[in-house]
Amino acid sequence: MAPPLLLLQDIRLSFGGRPLIENATLSVSAGERLCFVGRNGSGKSTLLKIAAGMIEADAGTRFVQPGATLRYLPQEPDLSAFANTRAYVEAGLGPGDDPHRATMLLEALGLTGEEKPDRLSGGEARRAALARVIAPEPDVLLLDEPTNHLDLPAIEWLEETLKSMRSALVLISHDRRFLERLSRATLWLDRGTTRRLDQGFAAFENWRDDVLHEEEKERERLDRKISQELDWVRYGVTARRKRNMGRLRKLEGLRQERRDQRKAVGSVKLLATEGDVSGKAVVEAFDVSKSFGERPIVKDFSTRIQRGDRIGLVGANGAGKTTLLNLLTGVLAPDSGTIKLGTNLQMVTLDQRRESLDPNLRLADALTDGRGDTVIVNGEARHVIGYMRDFLFTPEQARAPITALSGGERGRLMLARALARPSNLLVLDEPTNDLDLETLDLLEEMLDDYTGTILLVSHDRDFLDRVATSIILAEGDGKWTDYAGGYTDMLAQRGAAAPARSSGKAERNAEKKSQAERPAVGKAKLSFKQKHALETLPKTIEKLTAEIAKLEATLAKPNLFASDRKAFDTANARLAAAQAERETAEEEWLTLEMLREELGA
């Protein structure tokens, strides 16, 4: 086996006397694809910084193969010391690296290289940082949340680029699909200790559940042993005469073992406070248009959103997703057309900008709006400390300023604030940013149980597939199209064409420009094979239906089973096969017919 390029062994680190990492090991070999997972606050980013040499551990060893190159992508890249994005990216090149590759990557990511750091959006800063770490093609790439603030075209471009690179990868991400497509091994940081699975992320969650189940069984066995020893100490005949110090030491050892077994961190408890039932029609838009300068953001768009719908808005950065969201919720007036909002709407918005909260505000005050120490949830008063615990905050954090929270903790705080307020219309703008996978699972379950209406902007493909009942996609030049189903369904209806490629400019900057440069969206067509299938499948279905009727008539004959068992078994087996073939043919025809109608429209 080849020696590792990067190795961390027995890493220990404490913050403020509290152990964060107690026994962590990380080994990265040439060409390895490793996803790094764990709860928010478990220390993943900290361990990645130790691997990058940015933080020194309290104990343990760090080894980098002599001559091996390593690059680290932080969650919040700092470009302030550079004149423009090109200078920032080129500063990451090593001796002998090709500067033209830096320019090529900037262009591929929709940047010119002349952007000033103080004018960059979060997405543009992340693109520049990606170009900086990818350009040298290092031996080891350490990527902390590389998809944050990226739009779908950029995420898909990044996937393909990383797949083609020779670099070993260590990935921290909340994007399930990104991890599934890139990882071949998984490192789990749990309660300060790392565990490794030599399979990709797709196998991780079942494996994790098995590990936690075995731990729970072991705790139950240990509890029974402690109970038995206590019974002996209290009631044993020998114990009444003279304490057996050996047994007492054994009991104390068991108790200490039980204390040392740190239970798995609890789950976030997500429950939306639902308001009164809204009217059946929630939003109706008729020929709505909106432009900024000469650039159309929305052009002649119509839709009808009804109670219980879950609408996902998808498009490249700068396409106008937030603008359309503001139009649909009445925050922004259209240039032409009409927006009609339904009756009895109680709207709650989760803003993607975590900084919308005063960073000096205390956590408890952010939940109570500074009024007392109770939160009203579903009509009942709850103490703010108890409500905080539902979102995995400790009582000690109640008086901590928001600025002291991590990105994931701020995400949970925003959820806690939004879900405490009565609503029948949830407006979620990038709700998955910085949330860990377990919290995402619970958010999806909560949204599934929510009886109101949801408007959702997200670049998380898996989240859209699990939550959305329809997708409104930016096709380019102000055109928006409504597709039934989730993100994958939308791709199927478009003939697997990807969303329009991003220009790389953030929406706030794009709206200031009189005209945005973006590639034209090509019109998809049915292939010859698809056209042929559309023509022949109805005849196949008709033929199978006739065969099924004939087989059913044969099987309905009296005494067939008794008189000719072999004929009965043959007909029965063929009937099951014919029914399955017809079902497959019908599904294929329906998919192609929907695609044909969509392309025709």
Tokens 């697997």 — which residue? 496
Give the whole-angstrom CA distance, residue 323 versus residue 342.
20
Spatial strand order in the sheet of 6-15:
59-64, 6-15, 18-28, 193-197, 185-190, 33-37, 168-172, 140-144, 70-73
Find how far residue 559's CA is from the centre of its chain.
59
Question: 18: which DSSP letter?
Answer: E
Residues 6+ apart with CB under 8 A from 39: 190, 265, 436, 438
Question: 362: which DSSP letter?
Answer: B
Annotated binding site for ATP: 38-45, 315-322
Amino acid present at 101: R
Give the whole-angstrom CA distance, residue 236 versus residue 229.
10
User: In b/e form, how buried is each residue of 574-601, taking b as 16+ CB within 10 angstroms?
Assistant: bbeebbebbeebbebbeebebbeebeee
Give the whole-angstrom CA distance, residue 530 versus residue 459.
30
Angstrom distances, CA of residue 82 to CA of 79, 86, 104, 129, 225: 6, 9, 19, 12, 63
3-state secondary structure of 283: strand
Annotated binding site: 38-45, 315-322
Structure tokens at 379: 């009509």
Contact 62, 16 (CB under 8 A): no
